[in-house]
Amino acid sequence: MKFNFRNFIAILLLGAPIASATAEQRYVGGDISLLPDYEAAGVKYRDQSGKLIPDLLPWLKEQGMNAMRVRLFVDPSAYTGSDKDPNARQSLEYITPLCRRIKEAGLDLMLDFHYSDTWADPARQWTPKAWENLSDEELYAKIYEYTKESLQHLVEAGATPDFIQPGNEVSYGMLWGKNTDPESSLKKTFIGKSANWDRFGKLLRQAIKACREVCPAAKIVIHTERVAQHAVLASFYDKMKSLGVEYDIIGLSYYPYFHGNMDVLGKALAELEKKFAGKEIMVVETGYPYKDGISV
């Protein structure tokens, strides 16, 4: 199997500690969404001494990790764009056994809803094919229904998420429309139209409503990627407040080769902690080259 660095992203769940009933808790883990494929391809894992690791998840827990992230696409088989990626394959059916394994290993589970048939990020937030012809009012109902049904399925399978991301890197909104439709950009929040923000806010509130109903103990993460643009980052979370989006954790992407060195991240964390004192902060997505060459 060809290794694709982009699709086996290590994540660090950092920042202010999450308070629990007994003590403050910090999280560290990784995105293991492709683990079933690696295992099916015969990949073997070994510890530093060269000893074979028979089951990766319990071993990761032994090393001090305590949470794993898994992404979810609506129907990855339906995406036909020129940028189709075979690694964007995590349907609900695909992830259910993996999520159950994570929970059985005693690890917390972060579920990352992409609300798309393919990667959702600042450059693309394409509406799933099955939802493309829905009106905005119908989309508000659909995102609630889909989120609720997906979570109920996982709960019934013994894989209740502990953290839920209702959207992936959503600085510019979500569910823009078809990737072939030039008018889809009108749905992007960065254009600044209040209607776009209002639409986005309602989509988020509907998704979060479903999360709270099915998984009331789960922490809700609103995930953005504007770490290097501190004013924009703060403005986004100010907007979440004005839109009535109720969440628990500010989730960030941080890639040093895109965003800059660790000082950039440190400043962003410090400013967010000061401005949004009631929110926890996590770096939920990051990556770093396996070879030297980039200084942080």
**What does the block give as tokens for 140?**
């508000």
What is the C-alpha to C-alpha distance for residues 14 and 140, in angstroms, rounded to an integer? 32
246 is catalytic: no
Distance CA 251, CA 169 (A): 9
HSE at residue 49, side-chain half, CA atoms within 13 A, is: 3
Rounded Cα gap, residues 94 and 120, in angstroms: 18
Kindly give, in sequence order, each residue whose CB lies less than 8 Å from that of residue 243, ignoring residues fewer than 6 positions away.
Answer: 197, 198, 200, 201, 204, 205
- Catalytic residue selected from 169, 225, 271, 273: 169
The radius of gyration computed from the CA coordinates of the chain, to the nearest angstrom, equals 19
Residue 147 burial class via C-beta count within 10 angstroms: exposed 0-12, middle 13-18, buried 19 and up:
buried
Say if residues 90 and 54 touch (Cβ distance below 8 Å). no
Catalytic residue, chosen from 93, 145, 213, 285, is: 285
Q: What angle do CA 109, 251, 3 make, to 5 degrees?
A: 65
The kind and range of the H/E element at 19 are: strand 18-19
Active site includes 169?
A: yes
Angle at Cα 132 formed by Cα 131 and Cα 138, nearest 5°? 55
The residues annotated as belonging to the active site are 169, 285
